[in-house]
Chain A
Amino acid sequence: MTEPILRLSGLTKRFGEFTAVNEIDLDVEEGEFFTIVGPSGSGKSTLVRMLAGLEEPSGGEIALRGRRLNETPANRRPTCMVFQSLALFPHRSVGQNIEFPLKMRGVAREERRTRAMELLRLLRLPEAYYGKNVTQCSGGERQRVALARAFAYDPEILFFDEPLSAIDYKLRKTLEKELKDIHKETGKTFMYITHSLEEAMVMSDRIGVMRAGDLVQVGTPEEIYTRPRDKFVSEFMGEVNVIDVRRGMNGRASGVGIPGDFLLREMPEGFESGHLVVRPEYLRFIDAPGEAENHLRGRLYNEYVLGSRIQYQVRVGERVFMVERLRQQAFRGKLDEEVLIGWDAKDSILVTN
């Protein structure tokens, strides 16, 4: 068990009456790609800005390899941040931008140039770009320049503040993969902020979910996905079906508002009430109740084609449930027809709050 490269203890930030970051404890391992996910206003940006030294904590401690970092000013921390707007210096060329951290520390011109060329290669930019004006670069190129600049002085940790949120889908997907590759190649510790869980799932070794200043759950993408700690986390990653349940008889949970006694994966001790979460891809159409461990009766209400998948909406009483199937396995039912949907206990998640 190696010592974490970054340890946050009780890190807090208050703006007057408002608490943006609330006593966060977190260990980040060296070399990992750690992503903090959360909706806007959850405090994730503030958290990262404190780590970079751009915001002063109201309480708690930041330690880098065991050394307290709180009092170190931003320009002396061995960390670098890629900003949301990229913050490329418009009055400088690509090369000058990349060399900036080196210039600030008095590195000689020849050495700077060599390093800049190295970085251009690492970031898959043509060497000819060295003298190019940054405002003439495309969106993807600008991202790479910003990254190269952050890498220039070999920081221990790199922070990313939602850098891909303003780009179109296709470019974003490309850059996500590249970022992941660069992470593997360089072996550096990345701390990434985003509001898109999908993005986090693609790139991260571990994910931390934030909500209203609290770190609600930390785990691998797999853990977050299959064992969300609460309703918020489970809903955060996309459309899910949620049934409010109470402790019922025979080790089952009985639905509140939805008739039925449902078999769970496991019934925790002292469970009184909570939510049953079933992902759309685990719901299926069945012909008879016995074909699945749990079932619901409803009417086929609508269908949406989502690229390679189709989502069906089934009306059960007042509520709508979503069933997802691959295109090749389209359900041949008619709208307004009565249907049975079912799932197995192992595919459901029980959350208590």
Chain B
Amino acid sequence: MTAIATTGADNRRKPRMRWLSLSSGARYSLPVLVLLAVGFVAPLIAVIAFSFAEPRSFAVFGAPTLENYRTIFDPANTVYLSFLWSLFFAALAVVILALLCYPVAYGLAHIFGRWANLITLLLVFPLFISENIRLFGWVLFFIKNGVLDGTMKTLFGLEVQSLLFTPPIIVFGMVYVYLPFMLFPMVLGLSMVPRDVVEAAGDLGASRLQIFREVELPLAMPGFIIGGLLTFVLSVGAVAESKVLGGQSVIVITHDIEIAFTYAQNWPLGAALSVLLMVVIGALVLLVLRYLDLDRILGRR
């Protein structure tokens, strides 16, 4: 038996916590927690409370009733249709965006090198332009006598059907607005794939497609999942696209909620619809965030 210097196989988990003072972290978390408690949690609780109120009333402290929920689930009303439309549009948007964004994400993570920063800047900037301005630009593009129509007429003498005020244009709008929200998490995910692992896979005989399937996809998955989740959730709750671009061709769920809150003056119904939306979103988000290690994704070493 060769005796070799031991490096002390200490397999015990050593809690390497650098505590400057015991509850530093907890103390620093308080301001944000208070803000979210008062500004996020409390309003949502208010909404939940309101969903059990008398329909069309503004009093929340009466006897609770399920009337609003019954209204929603009553097949005679078409309210649930809005829900289905929203879910459908969101799912479609996610799929389209995943396909659209992957090449760009790949480029940003691996190809553009020094230009990556500039390109990122160009891609981020639209987020700072108000949604309406951007969507309205598309109206100017697609409308009769708009940019597209005018160009087609002048160049080819073609008269183009207006694409506005139809369901597909709503998906188009969602894809447009939420593109960065799919793109950047994807970039983050791809940057988690170490270059040398990809090269090793190629060296061991894998084709491009195989490398993608066996190496990149699994390793980049957390980023892709976040991108997909974010895009889905935001699309489900989107309303500007359907109002500005889609006219009234389809009423999405958030539009219905807005109508209930404003024109219909039926806050309890609006609240109930919101609760359902929140439940769907909440379930998805909590389910997914459970399994993700945020530290690793955001860059902790």
Contacts and interface: CB of A to CB of B under 8 A. Distances in A.
Interface stretch (A89-97, A122-130, A164-172, A239-247): A239-247
B3 A242 contact: yes
A239 B10 contact: no
A240 B13 CA distance: 29
B75 interface: no
Contact of A211 (B8, B13, B15): B8
> Interface size class for chain A?
20 to 34
B8 A212 contact: yes
Interface string A23-61: 000000000000000111110000000000010000000
A239 B3 contact: yes
A40 B10 contact: yes
B77 interface: no
B7 A40 contact: yes
B5 A20 contact: no
Interface in A235-267: 235-242
A319 B2 CA distance: 7
Contacts of B7: 39-40, 195
A320 B1 contact: yes
A41 B3 contact: no
Contacts of A313: 2
A319 B13 CA distance: 33
Nearest to A238: B5
Interface string A295-318: 000000000000000000100001
A233 to B, nearest CB: 11
A348 to B, nearest CB: 14
B39 to A, nearest CB: 35
Given A15-B17, A18-B15, A236 B5 contact: yes
Interface string B4-30: 111110101111011000000000000
Contacts of A15: 14-15, 17
B15 A16 contact: yes
Contacts of A148: none
Contacts of A54: 18
Contacts of B12: 18, 41
B143 to A, nearest CB: 53
Contact of B2 (A38, A42, A237, A320): A320
A232 interface: yes
A322 interface: yes
B104 to A, nearest CB: 33
Contacts of B13: 18
A41 B2 contact: no
A212 B10 contact: yes
B3 A39 contact: no
Contacts of B18: 54
B16 to A, nearest CB: 9
Interface string B186-221: 000000000000000000000000000000000000
Contacts of A242: 1, 3
A239 B2 contact: yes
Contacts of A195: 7
B8 A40 contact: yes
A237 B5 CA distance: 6
Q: Which residue among A15, A38, A211, A319 has the maximum number of chain B CB atoms within 10 Å of its CB?
A: A15
A280 to B, nearest CB: 10
Contacts of A320: 1-2
Contacts of A237: 5
Nearest to B15: A15
Interface string A322-338: 10000000000000000
B10 A39 contact: yes
A237 B17 CA distance: 30
Given A15-B17, A18-B14, A39 B6 contact: yes
A240 B3 contact: yes
A195 B14 CA distance: 17
Contacts of B14: 15, 18, 20, 41
Contact of A241 (B3, B10, B17): B3
A235 B6 contact: yes
Contacts of A236: 5-6
Q: Which 7 A-B pairs have the closest CB atoms?
A: A39-B8, A41-B10, A242-B3, A15-B15, A39-B7, A320-B2, A319-B1
